[in-house]
Amino acid sequence: MKGSLIERYGKYYAVFNVKNTNGKWAKKYVKTGLEFKPENESAAQSILENEIKMYLEAKPIEVETFQTSNKTISIKADKNKTLFSSFVNEWMKKKENEARTDEVTDYFYHNICSNYIIPYFKETKTYLEDIDYHILQEFVDYERTKDKKPLCPTSLKKLKITLRLILKDARMQRLIIDDPSEFIVLPKQTRRLPTFYNEEQLTELFEKIKGDYIYNIIYVTVLYGLRRSEVLGLKWDSVDFENKLVTIKHTVVRTNKIVEKDRTKTDSSFRTFPMSKEIENLLLNLREEENKNRLKYKENYTENDYIFKWPDGTMFNPDQITRRFVGLLKKYGLPPIRFHDLRHSCASLLMSKGFQLKDVQEWLGHADIETTANIYGHLDQSRKKELMNAFKF
């Protein structure tokens, strides 16, 4: 069984034979990244030998021998195999203990692993060492087409991301040689145009729900184009009455519990808005109401710095706010939209007033203008009219 170096596209490639899951031999090609020059041959040879060692250490065999141009490599490997479901379970526990991840990320991985990956591969009794592209693709296709609660394209994308992280870790531990998850084919995501209210519909919404306990939340959300996590994460330290500014720097997210985070979704989401007279009055009234509630509930009042909360100081459950919003739309016979569509409504209103995509990007806190263009580019009719006017014959 021999390994060798070949030239491809002006680079050294390491080549050796490996056994696939069917027990058949197949060539494995490994990029060295080195230019095909005599002075690089020794370094390329070292890469070849290292790749062969990694392969031998990962295979569940007693002893296997490889012959390179310079030497014979023999390594005794671990005969025991690892169930993929067991490896995923251990990976999940390790991920939860990492200081680098937050509670929301932990919940994301835990949900994907516990509800999809582990149950499926526990039933199939698949070994980590036997994982290949076909096995992974079959799993993804099953989750996509199963009769009960099939996964949507967005969830399948999250599934693939998680699989890649798991198998990357397995490769780092030299338990496998290749990561076949990169070849998983996902269904194309159909572009969903955002739904939103126009200015007339927003005016009607505000008139109908005035006096409701989520009115102020809806008003601030629409005005600043906030995410639900951002509007519920507003704290009094976000408000600068002296300089008339409101800063978005905290969020409240719902997973299996309410998670408070002293940071925004991305760096660009951390942004500061001017405070209009209407917003100033709204906030001053809320602060006065909070002080009254503190005296009313006394020792039963829950102290926190959040602006939007129940009279006794208890934080709002994000999902409860969404349910209330949907209920109000039904109650008053208004067109059904999601809470997040209030953010889209803000963007639509800005575009209708002649503001450019760059303005909308900064107002909404998108990381780049490509994101803004993908979501709202079809609304930029004013810019298209300018382009059309350029053609004068």
**Residue indicated by tokens 């200015």:** 199
Question: Which DSSP string corresponds to 75-131?
Answer: EE------BHHHHHHHHHHHHHH-TTS-HHHHHHHHHHIIIIIHHHHHHHT-BGGG-
Q: Are 41 and 1 in contact (CB under 8 A)?
A: no
pLDDT of residue 334: 95
For the segment 308-327, the average pLDDT, to the nearest whole number, is 93
pTM for the complete prediction? 0.62
Q: Are 243 and 187 in contact (CB under 8 A)?
A: no
Lowest mean pLDDT among 86-90, 110-114, 214-218, 269-273: 269-273
Q: Hey, what are 36's tokens?
A: 């095909």
Lowest mean pLDDT among 53-57, 183-187, 266-270, 329-333: 266-270
3-state secondary structure of 209: helix
For the segment 141-150, the average pLDDT, to the nearest whole number, is 90
Exposed/middle/buried for residue 64 (C-beta within 10 Å: 0-12, 13-18, 19+): middle
What domains appear along the chain, each with residue ranges and CATH number? 3-76 (no CATH), 84-183 (1.10.150.130), 199-383 (1.10.443.10)
Instruction: For residues 75 and 294, give the distance between their C-alpha atoms in angstroms, rounded to a whole number.
Output: 72
Residue 2: which pLDDT band, with cuts at 50, 70 and 90?
low
pLDDT of residue 88: 93
How would you classify residue 263: left for phi > 0, otherwise alpha for psi between -120 and 50, otherwise beta? Answer: beta
Residue 33: which pLDDT band, with cuts at 50, 70 and 90?
confident
Q: Are 318 and 252 in contact (CB under 8 A)?
A: yes
What ranges make up the beta strands (E) of 287-346? none
Model confidence at 19: pLDDT above 60: yes
pLDDT of residue 387: 46
Nearest partner of 289 among 275, 263, 309, 265, judged by Cα: 309
Q: Are 222 and 193 in contact (CB under 8 A)?
A: no
Nearest partner of 230 among 207, 247, 244, judged by Cα: 247
Model confidence at 311: pLDDT above 60: yes
Model confidence at 152: pLDDT above 80: yes
> What one-letter code names the amino acid at 6?
I
Q: Are 335 and 197 in contact (CB under 8 A)?
A: yes
pLDDT of residue 258: 46
Residue 350: which pLDDT band, with cuts at 50, 70 and 90?
confident
For the segment 167-192, the average pLDDT, to the nearest whole number, is 85
Lowest mean pLDDT among 66-75, 86-95, 319-328: 66-75
Residue 72: which pLDDT band, with cuts at 50, 70 and 90?
low
> What one-letter code names the amino acid at 7?
E
pLDDT of residue 256: 47
Q: What is the pLDDT of residues 82-140, one digit of tens each?
A: 899 999 999 988 887 765 556 666 777 888 999 999 999 999 999 998 899 899 999 99
pLDDT of residue 80: 64
- Tell whether the torsion through CA atoms of 13, 14, 20 and 26 is positive or negative: positive
3-state secondary structure of 380: coil
User: HSE on the CB side for 101, CA within 13 Å?
Assistant: 15
Question: Which DSSP string corresponds to 265-276?
Answer: SSGGG-EEEE--
Q: Are 167 and 123 in contact (CB under 8 A)?
A: no
Distances (CA, A) of 168 to 84, 176, 267, 357, 384: 13, 9, 27, 38, 46
Q: Are 231 and 214 in contact (CB under 8 A)?
A: no
Model confidence at 257: pLDDT above 50: no
Return all residues near 51 (Cβ < 8 A) that are at least 6 apart: 3, 14, 16, 28, 30, 177
Residue 4: which pLDDT band, with cuts at 50, 70 and 90?
confident
Instruction: For residues 266 and 393, give the distance between their C-alpha atoms in angstroms, rounded to a whole number.
Output: 47
Task: Measure CA 257 to chain center.
Answer: 18
For the chain, the distance separating the N- and C-terminal CA atoms, rounded to the nearest angstrom, is 73
Q: Give the chain's radius of gyration (CA, Å).
A: 29
More confident residue, 355 or 118: 118
Q: What is the 3-state secondary structure (H, E, C) of 191-205?
A: CCCCCCCCHHHHHHH
Whole-number average pLDDT of the chain: 81
What ranges make up the beta strands (E) of the chain? 3-8, 11-19, 25-35, 63-67, 72-76, 239-240, 245-248, 251-254, 258-261, 271-274
